[in-house]
């Protein structure tokens, strides 16, 4: 069986009892029940080294191994999806990504991603990464909001350097579980794969304390800084503004959950599945509302702001948050 990558993870106590196909669909690289079933029936998923059925009930401590099929860059095809383009010139474009859209092709999403939609919109995209043309940074599938896309390699390199140097401006808004005790604060840590649950990330600890020394070089972990401020609270929820110094995978989700306040709807990081059903949700609430950077060619400072999607604003008002 020819594969592009193998991914393994250990079943946590929270996932014990889950059907295998449902468990796989919660992973970002799978993200759909149908694709999970396809992988299982194609004998690409092993539990403790054995092939099982999609309905197999998982137990804590079992090791799930996924052999993803090969993905070729030449397979990329345009996807006819209308994009909300906020800004565009010959070098860059800024797009308002809807929640539910995966940024770049991966196993399970090879032709229905933002990249595929960009290929339908324009043939001018940077090729620094042939599988992810144009993509300089990314946000989670469930997250809505702003991304900048490079239309050529020169623009891509300049933008990537800005993200590396932490000179970009990135602000998110989120709804958290519970009422934050502080009105504002800063969270600093090194983020790496969770030691037990490999589909999650977590802050690296030493002697049971989070490491906050910024001058260290840790293997398999990256420095992350999140600034937060509470805007309002209602019905045991907090509405917050989050500004990133760094942009690590799951950074906001990890940092807030480790404060005891996971994003509403984020069952991967501790939000109650029961409460999720009560609220009628199928995802978490996080919005990339502001994005600022220096234009890679003209050197003009650009700042873009975008409100929550209308449906989300309606729901936020129903929860008691005015003018989200």
CA-based nearest residue to 135, from 81, 92, 99? 92
Distance (Å, whole) CA 312 – CA 239: 13
- Beta strand spans in the chain (E): 3-10, 45-47, 50-51, 63-69, 84-88, 92-97, 144-150, 169-177, 184-193, 201-203, 205-206, 209-210, 222-234, 237-244, 286-294, 301-305
> Among this protein's residues, is 197 annotated catalytic?
no
Distance (Å, whole) CA 271 – CA 276: 8
* Phi, psi torsion values for 223, nearest 5 degrees: -65, 135
DSSP-derived letter for residue 163 is: H
State the catalytic residue, choosing from 140, 153, 197, 213: 140
Bridge-based pairing state of the strands 286-294 and 144-150: parallel
Distance (Å, whole) CA 307 – CA 169: 16
Bridge-based pairing state of the strands 184-193 and 222-234: antiparallel
Q: Which residues are 187's β-sheet partners?
A: 226
Residues identified as active-site: 140
């Amino acid at each position: 069986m020819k594969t592009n990558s193998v991914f393994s993870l250990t079943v946590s106590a929270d996932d014990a009892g889950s059907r295998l196909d449902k468990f796989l669909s919660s992973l970002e690289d799978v993200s759909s029940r149908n694709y999970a079933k396809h992988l299982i029936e194609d004998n690409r998923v092993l539990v403790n080294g054995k092939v099982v059925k999609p309905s197999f009930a998982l137990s804590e401590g079992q090791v799930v191994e996924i052999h993803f099929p090969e993905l070729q860059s030449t397979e990329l095809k345009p996807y006819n999806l209308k994009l909300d383009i906020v800004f565009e010139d010959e070098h860059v474009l800024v797009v308002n990504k809807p929640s539910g859209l995966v940024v770049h092709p991966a196993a399970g999403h090879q032709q229905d991603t933002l990249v595929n939609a960009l290929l339908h919109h324009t043939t001018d995209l940077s090729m620094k990464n042939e599988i992810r043309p144009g993509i300089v940074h990314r946000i989670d599938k469930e997250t809505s909001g702003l991304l900048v896309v490079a239309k050529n390699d020169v623009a891509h390199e300049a933008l990537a350097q800005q993200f590396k140097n932490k000179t970009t401006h990135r602000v998110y808004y989120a709804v958290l579980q519970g009422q934050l005790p502080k009105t504002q604060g800063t969270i600093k840590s090194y983020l790496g794969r969770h030691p037990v649950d490999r589909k999650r990330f977590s802050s690296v600890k030493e002697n049971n304390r989070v490491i906050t020394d910024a001058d260290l070089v840790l293997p398999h972990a990256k420095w992350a800084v999140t600034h937060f401020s509470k805007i309002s609270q209602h019905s045991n929820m907090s509405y917050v503004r989050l500004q990133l110094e760094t942009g690590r995978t799951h950074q906001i989700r990890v940092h807030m959950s480790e404060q005891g306040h996971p994003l509403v709807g984020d069952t991967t990081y501790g939000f109650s599945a029961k409460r999720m059903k009560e609220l009628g949700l199928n995802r978490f609430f996080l919005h990339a509302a502001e994005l600022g950077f220096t234009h890679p060619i003209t050197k003009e400072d650009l700042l873009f702001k975008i409100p929550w999607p209308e449906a989300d604003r309606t729901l936020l008002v129903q929860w008691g948050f005015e003018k989200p």
